[in-house]
Chain A
Amino acid sequence: MTNLVGSTAKSSSQAKVAASLRRRYAAELRFRAYGIVAIAIGLAFVVFLFSSIISKGYTSFQQTYLAVDIDYAADTIDPEGTRLPDTLSAADYQAVIKASLRAQFPNVEGRASLRHLYGLVSNAAETTLRDQVVSDPKLIGSHQRIWLLADDHVDSFIKGQIDRKLPESDRPISDEEIAWLDALKAKHGVETKFNLAFFTSGDSREPEQAGVAGALAGSALTLIVTLILSFPIGVAAAIYLEEFAPRNFWTDVIEVNINNLAAVPSIVFGLLGLAMFIQFFGLPRSAPLVGGLVLSLMTLPTIIIAGRASLKAVPPSIREAALGMGASRMQTVAHHVLPLALPGMLTGTIIGMARALGESAPLLMIGMVAFIVDVPHGLSDPATALPVQIYLWARSPERAFVERTSGAIMVLLGFLLLMNAVAVVLRNRFERRW
């Protein structure tokens, strides 16, 4: 009897469980689906971000050139026939180009149309001709077909970024310009080539002449300062805290302080740099020196934390062995612990450097946002950095800068990828399992 009741009770609770199973498994599936959706969203963002930037930016590595029959007219360039370098470099090559363009398109009339015609080529073309003539004066008097840098509108149009079906008022390039370009194209006078200038020239107001060389040099100089300061100091601090510091109130303070410093917003470091280095110590504005100082203070916590982690990973038995041999603590660290921890520290440092390379907010504060054409050569030359250059170009109204900005981002991401790859290789190569 009791047995019967027990078993019915049991079977009824089993039945309940069985009845609830459907619902519970549905909930299980839903929960799993949330996870998959979340991951899909995250990955979709990654894909979207990269594809949006690459699709906008890959064209910046190409540049349109126009073939123009240049008449190196002697009476424009060197009417006196002296061939002196000074005369040659002071000559009006703009006029030469204008005359040549007019000769190539004899039907163009009217001031507005002529201005459009002259505007097809970039004003950098002038410099191209000047350099040519100065280095080879024999060109004077001759006719040559020369590939000249096209203006940014032309470049965008040729790359298909401007739709010719739009009404004329909605596009930056007019019908007659399109007609001239079509004519040139028919004579194989339009070409897109690899945009070497993008990697060799500094900033410019003209998108077709703007390059990342200045920003790259600025970033390199800044990072060198950062590395020189933050790596030794960070490693030394990590060694002190991990190997020497007594556990007391002060070392706790340092520890908490470092952890918090790692999370202080980067712009606050910019404020520090502005008030301390520029205002108080009178260091120059816009200089890689100050940028490097600020970034090294910012990177220091990262390096210290990574350094301590890799020191911790060195097994204590190695320390005991050395100490037991009568090595002093300093010798133990220098001969045994540090060599073993160094790969890990280097990995941390590279990751810190990568972060510093991508950092822009503090650099804005210390004036590394100026428009600087020259490629910096020294630590106190005015300079900008690659991410700041991206910021500057992103604010530019010219639509051709969108492409340049994306191109510069691709360069930046390329460097970051490289640095992270090195870090990963280093880690895999030297990671030791004890």
Chain B
Amino acid sequence: MTIEKHQHVTEVSRSVVFNESDHSSPGEQVDTKTVGQVTVDSPVISARHVNVHYGEKHAIKDVSIDVAKNAVIAFIGPSGCGKSTFLRCLNRMNDTIPNAKVTGSITLDGSDIYDRSQDIVQLRARVGMVFQKPNPFPKSIYENVAYGPRIHGLAGTRADLDDMVQSSLRKAGLWEEVKDRLDNPGTGLSGGQQQRLCIARAIAVDPEVILMDEPCSALDPIATAKVEDLIDELRENYAIVIVTHSMQQAARVSQRTAYFHLGDLIEVGPTEQIFTNPVHKLTEDYITGRFG
């Protein structure tokens, strides 16, 4: 299993490296100080020159990066460097913070998500999110998963809804564990189960992209392994952005890795290359554990 994964990673990285060396770069040229290839062939999301200010604080400094379809990209970097902030820009969760100001452009399938005409509700239905701490609603397991389809009117009938709940729970690898107690409160599950419930809840809306902010930091190693497997499977259908503090995790689940430092996007590249052969001095220091 692990070996397979590794091969896969190498393959992807090779292709990107190939692209880079060939200089027939995919997409447009981006003016950025980031080291490595920030663009990909057919991005779901592309962010260009994004800046985020919290009042006086400049939290994200001119970051440009693409998110590829059917792949996992990991954001790493020392604490406070702006990973969460940038992640939350991608589905406009920063709108809930009163003094946050986002500039630059972020497009989802070519249309600007910060455009005035963008319906934030539709955006979040297309870009789902899983949070650091599992946060199931204090309702039944069933209601947790059914909530998204309900508010978005995805299920025509009760049977449709039941199907959606079941298939989401299956995809999240939780079905077998909870199928007999769908009416129990979601908050009664174990931490790992709760997190998978939150993932099930996110995929019930059938998004294109799933954002995960340190989804395993509150979990034990076994639960973490389960979630990681799940992420790997989900990649077939979704683009996934994951923030993690665990270098091993980034290596295990992602195909591309982006390294943030004090609000700057320092380096982006195929995961294997970042971990084995980082170009930038800061990346290397971080990877080798000289700080962070």
Indicate whether A and B are direct neighbours in the complex (CB within 8 Å).
yes
- Please give the residue numbers on chain A whose beta carbons come within 8 Å of chain B beta carbons, in ascending order: 246-247, 315, 317-328, 331, 335-336, 340, 432
Q: Chain A's nearest CB lies how many Å from the CB of B135?
A: 4
Is B124 in the interface zone, CB < 8 Å from A?
A: yes
Whole-angstrom distance between the alpha carbons of A321 and B148 in the complex? 11
Residues A324 and B138 in contact, CB atoms below 8 Å apart: no
Within the assembled complex, what's the spacing in Å between the Cα atoms of A192 and B91? 77
A-B contacts, 25 listed (Cβ < 8 Å): A246-B98, A315-B135, A317-B135, A320-B96, A320-B131, A321-B131, A321-B135, A321-B137, A322-B147, A323-B93, A323-B124, A324-B93, A324-B128, A324-B202, A325-B124, A325-B125, A326-B124, A326-B128, A326-B151, A326-B152, A326-B205, A327-B121, A331-B151, A335-B147, A335-B151
Contact indicator per residue, chain B 107-132, by CB within 8 Å of chain A (1) or not (0) = 00000000000001111110011110
Give the residue of B125, B133, B135, B138 whose beta carbon is less than 8 angstroms from that of A326.
B125
B136 and A321 contacting across the interface, CB-CB below 8 Å: yes
Q: Is the CB of A325 within 8 A of B98?
A: no
In the assembled complex, the CB of A402 is this many whole angstroms from the nearest CB of chain B, namely 54
Do A326 and B122 have beta carbons less than 8 Å apart?
A: yes
List residues of chain A with CB within 8 A of the CB of B148: 325-326
Q: Which of A247, A317, A331 contacts B133 (CB 8 A)?
A: A317
Chain B positions within 8 Å of A320 at CB level: 93, 96, 129, 131, 135
Bound: A30/B162 CA distance, A: 71
A395, B192: Cα distance in complex, Å: 69
- Which residues of the other chain, B, contact A247 by a CB distance below 8 angstroms? 98
Cβ of B201 under 8 Å from chain A: yes
- The answer to whether B129 touches A324, judged by C-beta atoms less than 8 angstroms apart, is yes
- A323 touching B151 by the CB < 8 A rule? no
**Interface: B72 (CB within 8 A):** no
A336→B187 CA distance, assembly (Å): 14
Interface centre among B91, B124, B131, B198 (most CB of A within 10 A): B124
Report the bound CA distance from A326 to B151 in whole Å: 8
Task: List chain A residues, Cβ under 8 A from B128.
Answer: 324-326
Within 8 A of A (CB), among B21-63: none
Residue from A246, A318, A324, A327 in contact with B91 in the complex, judged by beta carbons closer than 8 Å: A324
Instruction: Other than A322-B147, A336-B137, give 20 A-B pairs with Cβ distance below 8 A.
Output: A246-B98, A247-B98, A317-B131, A317-B135, A318-B137, A320-B129, A321-B131, A321-B136, A322-B137, A324-B128, A324-B202, A325-B148, A325-B202, A325-B205, A326-B148, A326-B152, A328-B120, A328-B121, A335-B147, A340-B138
CA distance A72 to B173 in the complex (A): 91
Bound: A336/B202 CA distance, A: 17
Q: Which residue of B lies closest to A336 (CB)?
A: B137
Interface centre among A322, A326, A327, A328 (most CB of B within 10 A): A326
A331 to B137, CA, bound (A): 13
User: Within the complex, what minimum Cβ distance (angstroms) separates B210 from chain A?
Assistant: 10
Please judge, given known A-B contacts A247-B98, A317-B131, A319-B96, whether A327 and B137 are in contact too, CB under 8 Å. Answer: no
A432 to B137, CA, bound (A): 14
Complex CA gap A350/B78 in Å reads: 50
What is the bound-complex CA distance between A335 and B139, given in angstroms?
11
Q: Which of B257-283 contact A (CB under 8 A)?
A: none
Q: How far is the CA of A326 from the CA of B91 in the complex (A)?
A: 9
Mostly helix, strand, loop or mixed at chain A's interface? helix
A-contacting residues, B69-109, CB 8 Å: 91, 93, 96, 98
Q: How far is the CA of A266 from the CA of B121 in the complex (A)?
A: 46
Q: Nearest chain B CB to A142's CB is how many angstroms away?
A: 71
In Å, the complex CA distance between A325 and B205 comes to 8
Q: Which residues from chain B contact A327 at a C-beta distance below 8 Å? A: 121, 147, 151
> How long is the Cα–Cα vector from A350 to B128 in the complex, in angstroms?
40
CB distance from B226 to the nearest CB of A (A): 20
B247 to chain A, nearest CB (A): 26
Complex: chain A residue closest to B98, CB-CB: A247
Residues of A within 8 A of B137 (CB): 318, 321-322, 336
Interface residues of B in 191-229 (CB under 8 A from A): 198, 201-202, 205
Q: Nearest B residue to A317 by beta-carbon distance?
A: B135
A340 CA to B148 CA, complexed, in Å: 19
Q: Would you call B152 and A318 a contact (CB within 8 A)?
A: no
Interface centre among B91, B123, B133, B138 (most CB of A within 10 A): B138
The interface centre, meaning the residue of B91, B121, B152 with most chain A CB atoms within 10 A of its CB, is B121
CA distance A175 to B91 in the complex (A): 93
The minimal Cβ–Cβ distance linking B100 to chain A, given in whole angstroms, is 13
B143 and chain A: residue at smallest CB distance: A335
Q: How far is the CA of A404 from the CA of B240 in the complex (A)?
A: 76
Contact A324 B124 (CB under 8 A): yes
Inter-chain contacts of A315 with B (CB < 8 A): 135
A246 vs B96: C-alpha distance when bound (angstroms): 10
Interface centre among A246, A317, A320, A321 (most CB of B within 10 A): A321
B34 to chain A, nearest CB (A): 27
In the complex, what residues of B have CB within 8 A of residue A340's CB?
A: 138
When chains A and B are docked, how far (Å) is the Cα of A321 from the Cα of B198? 8
User: Closest 9 interchain pairs by CB?
Assistant: A326-B124, A324-B129, A326-B125, A317-B135, A321-B135, A325-B148, A326-B121, A328-B121, A327-B151
Q: How far is the CB of B164 from chain A (nearest CB, A)?
A: 13
Nearest-CB residue, chain B, relative to A246: B98
Q: How far is the CA of A330 from the CA of B227 in the complex (A)?
A: 32
Q: Is the CB of A325 within 8 A of B93?
A: no
CA distance A327 to B120 in the complex (A): 9
* Residues of chain B lying within 8 A (CB to CB) of residue A246: 98
List chain B residues, Cβ under 8 A from A336.
137
A326 to B120, CA, bound (A): 7
Q: How far is the CA of A247 from the CA of B98 in the complex (A)?
A: 8
CB distance from B190 to the nearest CB of A (A): 17
CA distance A331 to B130 in the complex (A): 19
Query: Which residue of B120, B122, B133, B147 is within 8 Å of A325 (Cβ)?
Result: B147
